[in-house]
Amino acid sequence: MKKSYLQYLLAGAALVSLSHCSDNDNASPVNEELNTQVLLDFSANLPQAVYSDLSTKTSTLYDQVVALGTNGATDDELAATRTTWKQARQAWEQSEAFLFGPVSTKDIDPHIDTWPVNFNDLNAQLNSGAEFTADYINNLDDALKGFHPIEYLIFGEDGNKKAADLSERDMEYLTALALNLKTLTADANNSWKPSVSGNYHTIFTTAGTGNATYPTQLAAYQELVNAMAGICDEVANGKLDEPFTAQDPSLEESPFAQNSIIDFTNNIKGVQDVYLGKYSADGKGLEDIVRQYNLQLDSDIKLKIDNAINALGKITDPFGKAITTQAMQIETAMSSINDLKDILETELLPFVQQHTK
């Protein structure tokens, strides 16, 4: 269940047009050297680093799944596999703050992270006579492959699956799913590597004249801010609001692992990463451009990021339970994340339209 942020791109394009009309006679200062460096550091420190982590974790996950099917699985091995799944989720959910480029155009996102999933549909696959070949998995409905079917198989419907509960058929499906996830995340990783032909690093960081995808640096900056606002909208008004409003835990993102609040928090931490220009390494980020011209805006954005993360931290029950036990905390979290979305749309986006070209 994914929401496109095309609405933000279209809105941003309209604002750019208005901004250009109004700024013709009163141009704002533009630091082209800094703007270029921010794009370079974003590529190196965010997509390249995060997708590398993601690919490493899903490769480890696959190896652990294969080991589970060799000489009998142990509960310790299953626990280690669950830990790696959560680590891979952390990288993926943070990457959703920049959900553009090949991960979008190649449909990697829906192929690996469609939800909610219906365990009855998953059980139907297990009960079928299908051979779980690579082609078969590729052709499955998106809700039957990726992170969440793997989650169901290693955690179980109630989150307490034991290694002894893993059937031979479970292992066939699980192994095929883990291989598919490993393959797709490796593709996402390779797509941003500067050494790979046609890589997105070069496309994104050379925004400007002659670039068909980003004919101006402004277009690249719009992509960044729209992606940040888009994931805020999805978390507040999709991931949180839809199960809460419906009072339906089956709409939860990661119910079997009880990982949903961690997922949502990592989404917002991803927004923070993009704004600061840092993940495992630090570089120039949007904050450096904002701080050059508007310290108050920088402070306001950081405060709203902190408020959103802190509000999610107040939801202490598993999300499927919290929709009935912690309504106030959920409403506060949705409000805080929407506040962050609003400042990104109404203040940061116009700001970058003024200070990039």
- Per the CB < 8 A criterion, the answer to whether 209 and 178 are in contact is no
230 DSSP assignment? H
Token readout for 319 is 């999300």
List alpha helices for the chain, DSSP H.
6-23, 32-45, 47-68, 75-95, 102-105, 108-112, 119-127, 134-139, 147-155, 168-191, 200-205, 217-234, 241-246, 260-276, 286-293, 295-313, 319-325, 327-343, 349-355
28 DSSP assignment? P
Burial (CB < 10 A; 0-12, 13-18, 19+), residue 204, is buried
Q: Which residues contact 348 (CB under 8 A, 6 or more apart)?
A: 225, 228, 286, 290, 297, 301
φ, ψ for residue 282, nearest 5 deg: -105, 145
The whole-number pLDDT of residue 118 equals 87
Global pTM value: 0.93
Q: Which residues contact 20 (CB under 8 A, 6 or more apart)?
A: none
* Domain spans in the chain, listed from the N-terminal domain onward: 32-355
**In this model, does residue 21 exceed pLDDT 60?**
no
- How many degrees, rounded to 5, is the angle at CA 53 between CA 50 and CA 59? 140
- Per the CB < 8 A criterion, the answer to whether 329 and 314 are in contact is yes
pLDDT band for 3, please (50, 70, 90 cuts): very low
Q: Answer with the residue of higher pLDDT: 9 or 254.
A: 254
Burial (CB < 10 A; 0-12, 13-18, 19+), residue 281, is exposed
Which CATH architecture group holds 32-355? Answer: Up-down Bundle (1.20)
CA gap 161, 119 in Å, rounded: 14
- Per the CB < 8 A criterion, the answer to whether 114 and 146 are in contact is yes
User: Which of 42, 85, 356 is CA-nearest to residue 192?
Assistant: 42
Q: What is the pLDDT of residues 133-158, one digit of tens each?
A: 999 999 999 999 999 999 999 999 99
pLDDT band for 2, please (50, 70, 90 cuts): low
Look over the chain and give the mean of its residue pLDDT values, rounded to a whole number.
94
The whole-number pLDDT of residue 159 equals 96
Token readout for 174 is 């699980």
Q: What is the pLDDT of residues 57-107, one digit of tens each?
A: 999 999 999 999 997 899 999 999 999 999 999 999 999 999 999 999 999
DSSP string across 327-356: HHHHHHHHHHHHHHHHHIIIIIHHHHHHH-
CA gap 70, 73 in Å, rounded: 7
Burial (CB < 10 A; 0-12, 13-18, 19+), residue 195, is exposed
282 DSSP assignment? B
**In this model, does residue 6 exceed pLDDT 90?**
no
Q: What is the pLDDT of residues 26-39, one digit of tens each?
A: 578 999 999 999 99
Q: Which residues contact 30 (CB under 8 A, 6 or more apart)?
A: 355, 356, 357
Q: What is the pLDDT of residues 211-233, one digit of tens each?
A: 999 999 999 999 999 999 999 99
Peptide bond connecting 29 to the previous residue in cis, omega within 30 degrees of 0: no
Q: Which residues contact 325 (CB under 8 A, 6 or more apart)?
A: 317
User: Which of 311, 323, 167 is CA-nearest to residue 239?
Assistant: 323
**In this model, does residue 1 exceed pLDDT 70?**
no
Q: To the nearest whole percent, how much of the chain has pLDDT over 70? A: 93
CA gap 135, 346 in Å, rounded: 45
Chain-centroid distance, C-alpha 182: 16
**In this model, does residue 23 exceed pLDDT 80?**
no
